[in-house]
């Protein structure tokens, strides 16, 4: 079985890798920002004196109260967009680095099935992203406790944490297409551009009736970042996500297996 | 063309191999044979098609025509099994910069399912022990080249395909690698297919040479005999080269005659004798105004075959 061997080497490749830390810092930043908002809501007068909120923000902050349910709802929404960006960066790095570091040709001239290479890389990306999501939930718990927010219950926390993990898991469907762009273009730039483009596409379609059928709108819709639209999601949405995953996965495998792999 | 003897097994065999990128024909009808245990120098100018050929041999580019066989089996059908017997250095040295030299080799060891001790053995073989714990991103170009060579050799391949192996190495490093490759070929029967545009490097190492020019394999020669005897030919200037060529073919039985643009003839048959040629030409009433016996070295031979122009 070559899969465990390839997966093992993919994990070794992350050793001393700055991008792992950068992605963790970026994802933790979401928690810090949510925590900062909670603190502002909790004590708007001090925040106002420190110049942290203007009149406009004071108005919107005044409409909400600092509590565990607000913090977790905020984490769900921000991770709904942040997760899409962070996972794209991870996938871009894992696939694109082979070309950027001149190792693509060596990887592909190994006696390994190219589908195994793709699956091992995607597994690594998803495992890495999974760790970040768990870390986000844990940091949310820590920051909520540190701020002394009211209304905590394990049931509320667990339900919200599961929603975060579930919506983050749905991003898996979008990852192979990013990998396809990375191997097709042989580097970092095109997949990052593609990710930004799909983020914009998801936002634009999120405001239309087509949102439940646009793969990049479905997860933000579910996380609530695109408004309370999860009710709009239909069986077709699940099929669209499955199809997006399959097209991306077959695309990247077929590209590596059959095309000229220029560096 | 030099035909490989039937007694030795052929490790690389291509027939009518070609590769086009759109309208550009990068490689055209390349048929070559590389025997087991020999060092085959693949010579060509920049852009001649060397790297494209190597990419096809490694399954990195799909041929648009022709067949490739490694170890007597079609690469297309047995890629995984065949590539396990091949080590390569292609299009320059590379390594994962965040990993140390040892970790880079450890990756290769795991991916090729090689024994544990192979990492330390290869570090020693390539003189990289002192750099074993240094990150690859902090290596000099020369040592990065050594690391790439180490990765190519780690799993003890039976065939090593090297694209410009001497790049970035210092003179002592070049000698060391040359001796290492010679030993691998002579003592362990490893076959080495090596591309280069540095003639001196190939001249000192290769057993046979293939010269590729504008995508076509223009000559395969047994460099061992070329090195011993040199390439000798006779050049003559006559007023009627067409008649002179026909005469020499018919009367003296020469086969290797080339007419040049300046109206001269070049007779490269091994047994060509200047006296006999002069006699036949003069007796036939053809005016002979130049007769030269030329001894070519590899550089002159290469320049002549590839046209000499830049």
**DSSP of chain A:** --HHHHHHHHHHHTTT-HHHHHHHHHHHHHHHHHHHHHHHHH-HHHHHHTT---HHHHHHHHTS--BHHHHHHHHHHHHHHHHHHHHHHHHHHHHHHHHHTT-HHHHHTSSS-HHHHHHHHHHHHHHHHHHHHHHHHHHHHHHHHHHT-B---HHHHHHHHHHHHHHHHHGGGGHHHHHHHHHHHTSSHHHHHHHHHHHHHHHHHHTSTTGGG-HHHHHHHHHTTTSS-GGG--HHHHHHHHHHHHHHHHHHHHHHHHS----
Percentage of chain B modeled with pLDDT above 90: 57
What's the gap in Å between the CA of B284 and the closest CA on chain A?
A: 58
Contact B99 A12 (CB under 8 A): yes
d(CA B286, CA A152): 111
Q: Sorting pLDDT into bands at 50, 70 and 90, what band is A134?
A: very high
Question: Chain A interface residues facing chain B, Cβ-Cβ under 8 Å?
Answer: 5-6, 8-9, 12-13, 15-18, 101-103, 105-106, 108-113, 258-263
- Distance CA(A131)–CA(A127), nearest Å, equals 6
CA distance B55 to chain A (A): 9
- The total number of residues written for chain B in this structure: 310
User: For all residues of chain A together, what is the average pLDDT?
Assistant: 87
| A251, pLDDT greater than 90 | yes
What is the predicted pLDDT for the residue at B113?
A: 93
Whole-number pLDDT of residue B299: 77
| pLDDT score, position B269 | 73
Chain B residues in contact with A262 (beta carbon < 8 A): 61
The alpha carbon of residue A16 and the mean position of all alpha carbons in its chain are separated, in whole angstroms, by 22
| Statement: residue A106 has pLDDT above 80 | yes
Residues B254, B280: Cα–Cα separation, whole Å: 13
* pLDDT attached to residue B304: 76
Q: Which range has highest mean pLDDT (B25-39, B230-244, B261-275)?
A: B25-39
Evaluate the CA torsion angle A261, A110, B67, A250 in order and state its sign. Answer: negative
Reply yes or no on whether the pLDDT at A229 is more than 60: no
What value does the mean pLDDT take over residues B75-82?
A: 92
Question: How confident is residue B1, by pLDDT bands cut at 50, 70 and 90?
Answer: very low
Token digits for B296? Answer: 């070519």
Facing A110 at nearest CB: one of B96, B98, B111: B111
d(CA B197, CA B181) in angstroms, rounded, equals 18
* Closest by Cβ to B88, choosing from A15, A17, A109: A109
Q: Which helix (H) or strand (E) holds B73?
A: strand B73-74
Give the tens place of pLDDT for each residue, B123-136. Answer: 999 999 999 999 99
- Residues A61-85 have a mean pLDDT of 83
Q: Evaluate if residue B6 carries a pLDDT over 50.
A: no
Q: For residues A96 and A78, what is the distance between their CA atoms, to the nearest angstrom?
A: 26
Inter-chain CB proximity A263 and B111 less than 8 Å: no
User: Is a pLDDT exceeding 50 seen at residue B7?
Assistant: no
What span, in angstroms and rounded, lies between the C-alpha atoms of B168 and B145? 7
Q: Which pLDDT value is given to residue B123?
A: 96
Q: What is the mean pLDDT of residues A18-39?
A: 91
B63: which 2 tokens?
């041929």
pLDDT at B282 over 50: yes
pLDDT band with cut points at 50, 70 and 90 for residue A225: low
pLDDT tens digit sequence for B18-68 = 999 989 999 999 999 999 999 999 998 888 999 999 999 999 999 999 999
Predicted confidence (pLDDT) at residue A60 exceeds the cutoff of 60 = no
Residue of A nearest to B95 (CA): A103
- Cβ atoms of residues B72 and B14 within 8 Å: no
pLDDT surpassing 90 at residue B223 = no
Distance CA A110, CA A126 (A): 24
pLDDT of residue B309 exceeding 60: no
Q: Which residue has the higher pLDDT, B294 or B240?
A: B240
| B-chain residues near A6 (CB < 8 A) | 111
Query: pLDDT at position A241, please?
Result: 92
Kindly give the pairing relationship between strand B264-267 and strand B288-296: unpaired
Rg (CA), chain A: 20
Is the predicted ipTM greater than 0.90, yes or no?
Answer: no
């Amino acid at each position: 079985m070559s899969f465990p061997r390839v997966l093992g080497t993919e994990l070794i490749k992350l050793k001393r890798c700055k991008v792992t830390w950068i992605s963790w810092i970026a994802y933790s930043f979401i928690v810090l920002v949510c925590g900062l908002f909670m603190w502002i809501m909790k004590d708007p007068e001090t925040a106002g004196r420190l110049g942290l909120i203007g009149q406009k923000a004071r108005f919107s902050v005044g409409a909400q109260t600092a509590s565990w349910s607000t913090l977790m709802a905020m984490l769900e929404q921000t991770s709904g967009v942040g997760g899409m960006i962070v996972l794209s960066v991870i996938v871009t790095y894992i696939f694109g680095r082979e070309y950027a570091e001149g190792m693509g040709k060596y990887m592909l001239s190994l006696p390994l099935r190219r589908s195994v290479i793709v699956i091992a890389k995607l597994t690594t990306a998803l495992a890495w992203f999974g760790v970040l999501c768990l870390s986000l939930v844990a940091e949310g718990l820590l920051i909520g406790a540190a701020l002394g927010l009211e209304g905590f219950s394990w049931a509320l926390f667990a339900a919200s944490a599961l929603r975060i993990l579930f919506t983050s898991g749905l991003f898996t469907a979008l990852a192979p297409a990013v990998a396809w762009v990375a191997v097709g273009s042989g580097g970092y730039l095109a997949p990052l551009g593609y990710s930004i483009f799909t983020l914009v596409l998801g936002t634009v379609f999120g405001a239309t009736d087509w949102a439940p059928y646009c793969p990049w709108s479905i997860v933000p819709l579910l996380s609530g970042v695109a408004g309370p639209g999860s009710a709009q999601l239909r069986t077709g949405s699940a099929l669209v996500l499955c199809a997006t995953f399959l097209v991306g996965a077959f695309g990247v495998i077929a590209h590596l297996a059959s095309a000229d792999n220029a560096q | 063309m030099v035909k490989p003897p039937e007694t030795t097994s052929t490790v690389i065999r291509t027939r009518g191999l070609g590769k086009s990128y759109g309208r550009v024909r990068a490689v055209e009808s390349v048929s070559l044979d590389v025997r087991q245990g020999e060092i085959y120098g693949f010579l060509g100018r920049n852009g001649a098609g060397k790297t494209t050929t190597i990419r096809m041999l490694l399954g990195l580019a799909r041929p648009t025509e022709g067949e490739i066989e490694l170890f007597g089996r079609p690469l297309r059908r047995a890629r995984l099994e065949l590539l396990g017997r091949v080590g390569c250095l292609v299009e320059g040295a590379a390594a994962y910069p965040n990993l140390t030299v040892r970790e880079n080799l450890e990756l290769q060891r795991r991916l090729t399912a090689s024994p544990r001790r192979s990492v330390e053995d290869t570090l020693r073989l390539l003189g990289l022990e002192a750099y074993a714990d240094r990150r690859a991103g902090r290596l000099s170009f020369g040592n990065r080249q050594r690391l790439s060579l180490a990765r190519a050799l780690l799993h003890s391949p039976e065939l090593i395909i090297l694209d410009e192996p001497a790049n970035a190495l210092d003179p002592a490093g070049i000698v060391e690698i040359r001796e290492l490759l010679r030993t691998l070929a002579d003592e362990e029967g490893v076959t080495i297919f090596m591309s280069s545009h540095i003639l001196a490097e190939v001249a000192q190492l290769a057993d046979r040479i293939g010269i590729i020019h504008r995508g076509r394999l223009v000559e395969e020669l047994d460099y061992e005999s070329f090195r011993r005897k040199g390439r000798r030919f006779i050049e003559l200037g006559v007023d009627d080269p067409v008649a002179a060529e026909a005469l020499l073919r018919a009367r003296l039985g020469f086969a290797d005659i080339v007419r040049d643009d300046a109206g001269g003839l070049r007779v490269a048959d091994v047994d060509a004798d200047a006296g006999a040629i002069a006699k036949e030409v003069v007796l036939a009433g053809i005016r002979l105004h130049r007769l030269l016996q030329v001894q070519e070295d590899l550089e002159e031979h290469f320049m002549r075959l590839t046209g000499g122009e830049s």
